[in-house]
């Protein structure tokens, strides 16, 4: 019996080659998925390999009576209804380690661009031809205290590289402990409020973290900070960032993800803030590329294939699950 694999969105050729050459797999690949186009292939899929374009809940899964495994190529799973898949006995796997290095590189680069004022100096030269050497003097990375919230794959790799470069690292994780050492101090939020020059976010988007970093949160810091968000856009309030920059609570911001993407999908309030941030000389904006490199795409494909191989070894005879009739 062949195993039906539904592949949505785009992937490295390594994964496509492995899938198409496997003699027991039947592959359906939809690069630009819409729910309408998914209904038929979902009806016979045993495995669904996905990124983040399609929200997955009970209303979608009712069309997938044979589905046994969802592989999220990437780390964020906030678009997947965990209870719905658990109730149906569907496994969920992801690949959070695949892009930890490029995310860490992004954070380091963002801190340097902001703290050394490379970004604002570039804007002055490009927009006004000002050779503002003295006013563009910044701070060295090793002089900064970086607060890291979330110490999973991305947070720990970011901390490791920053510590190696001489930054003082204060790390907090509500659900993890015992990770201090090697230049990283495990600490409380209160100490981060007191000492941080930079705040880097590395937590998933959940009901607990949605909108967490707002104006009230930023007011807890004793001194002005820069905020770096290479996690999920819904964690950081865009209006709060604008307010922080206008009041001086923030001396810089780097934002790679938005509450809704692309920016045209933002709420009116968020879009207004986006337009202000887009024009601010101390704000680095990027289109959700912190974890996206040629190398990370290959690692992601390899990780997905490894998960699928492991699953295939124990699921030679996939069976469907019961669903309620439509």
**pLDDT tens-digit map of 19-64:** 999 988 999 999 999 888 899 999 999 999 999 878 999 999 999 9
Give the chain's domain count: 2
Instruction: Tell me whether residue 213 is in a domain.
Output: yes
Phi-psi region of 16 (alpha: psi -120 to 50; beta: other; left: phi over 0): alpha
Clarify whether residues 218 and 200 are in a common domain: yes
Q: Please compute the mean of the pLDDT values over residues 112-123 and round it to a whole number.
A: 96
Instruction: Tell me whether residue 290 is in a domain.
Output: no
Instruction: Tell me whether residue 305 is in a domain.
Output: yes
Q: Any idea of the CA torsion for 107, 108, 111, 114, to the nearest 10 degrees? A: -100
Per-residue model confidence (pLDDT) at position 189: 98
Instruction: Tell me whether residue 274 is in a domain.
Output: yes
User: What secondary structure, in 3-state letters, does the chain show?
Assistant: CCEEEEEECCCCHHHHHHHHHCCCEEEEEECCCCHHHHHHHHCCCCEEEECCCCCECHHHHCCCCCCCEEEECCCCCCCECHHHHHHCCCEEEECCCCCHHHHHHHHHHHHHHHHCCHHHHHHHHHHHCCCCCHHHCCCCHHHCEEEEECCCHHHHHHHHHHHHCCCEEEEECCCCCCCCECCEEECCHHHHHHHCCEEEECCCCCCCCCCCECHHHHCCCCCCEEEEECCCHHHECHHHHHHHHHHCCEEEEEECCCCCCCHHHCCHHHHHHHHHHHCCCCEEECCCCCCCCHHHHHHHHHHHHHHHHHHHHCCCCCCCCCCCCC
Clarify whether residues 37 and 113 are in a common domain: no
pLDDT exceeds 90 at position 221: yes
Instruction: Tell me whether residue 321 is in a domain.
Output: no
* Separation CA 166–CA 191 (nearest Å): 19
Alpha carbon of residue 102 to chain centroid = 11
Q: What is the pTM of this model?
A: 0.90
Instruction: Tell me whether residue 291 is in a domain.
Output: no
Clarify whether residues 134 and 157 are in a common domain: yes
Per-residue model confidence (pLDDT) at position 320: 52
- Residue numbers of the domain that contains 123: 100-285
What confidence tens digit (pLDDT) does each residue in 261-292 have?
999 999 999 999 999 999 999 999 999 999 99
Min mean pLDDT across 73-77, 92-96, 132-136, 139-143 is at: 73-77
Per-residue model confidence (pLDDT) at position 1: 63
Per-residue model confidence (pLDDT) at position 314: 84
* Separation CA 213–CA 193 (nearest Å): 13
Confidence grade of residue 324 (pLDDT, cut at 50, 70, 90)? very low
Percent of the chain scored above 90 by pLDDT?
A: 88
Clarify whether residues 115 and 228 are in a common domain: yes
Confidence grade of residue 172 (pLDDT, cut at 50, 70, 90)? very high
pLDDT exceeds 80 at position 319: no
């Amino acid at each position: 019996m062949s195993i039906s694999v539904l592949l949505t969105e785009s992937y490295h050729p390594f994964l496509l080659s492995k899938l198409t050459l496997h003699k027991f797999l039947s592959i359906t690949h939809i690069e630009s998925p819409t729910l309408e186009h998914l209904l038929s292939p979902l009806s016979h899929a045993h495995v669904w390999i996905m990124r983040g374009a399609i929200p997955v809940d009970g209303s979608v899964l009712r069309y997938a009576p044979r589905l046994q495994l969802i592989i999220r190529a990437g780390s964020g799973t906030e678009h997947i209804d965990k209870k719905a898949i658990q109730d149906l006995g569907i496994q969920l796997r992801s690949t959070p380690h695949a892009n930890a290095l490029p995310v860490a590189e992004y954070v380091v680069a963002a801190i340097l661009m902001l703290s050394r004022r490379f970004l604002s100096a570039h804007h002055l030269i490009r927009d006004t031809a000002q050779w503002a050497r003295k006013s563009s003097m910044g701070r060295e990375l090793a002089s900064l205290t970086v607060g890291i919230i979330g110490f999973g794959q991305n947070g720990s790799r970011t901390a490791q590289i920053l510590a190696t470069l001489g930054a003082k690292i204060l790390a907090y994780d509500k659900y993890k402990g015992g990770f201090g050492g090697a230049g990283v101090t495990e600490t409380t939020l209160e100490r981060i409020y007191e000492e941080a020059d930079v705040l880097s976010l590395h937590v998933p988007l959940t009901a607990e973290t949605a909108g967490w970093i707002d104006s009230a949160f930023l007011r807890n810091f004793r001194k002005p900070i820069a905020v770096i968000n290479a996690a999920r856009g819904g964690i950081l309030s865009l209006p709060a960032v604008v307010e922080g920059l206008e009041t001086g609570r923030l001396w810089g911001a780097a934002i790679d993800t938005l509450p809704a993407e692309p920016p045209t999908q933002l709420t009116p309030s968020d879009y207004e803030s986006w337009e202000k941030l887009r024009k601010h000389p101390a704000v680095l904006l990027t289109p959700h590329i912190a974890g996206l490199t040629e190398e990370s795409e290959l690692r992601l494909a390899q990780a997905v294939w490894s998960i699928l191989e492991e699953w295939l070894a124990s699921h030679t005879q996939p069976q469907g699950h019961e669903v309620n009739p439509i």
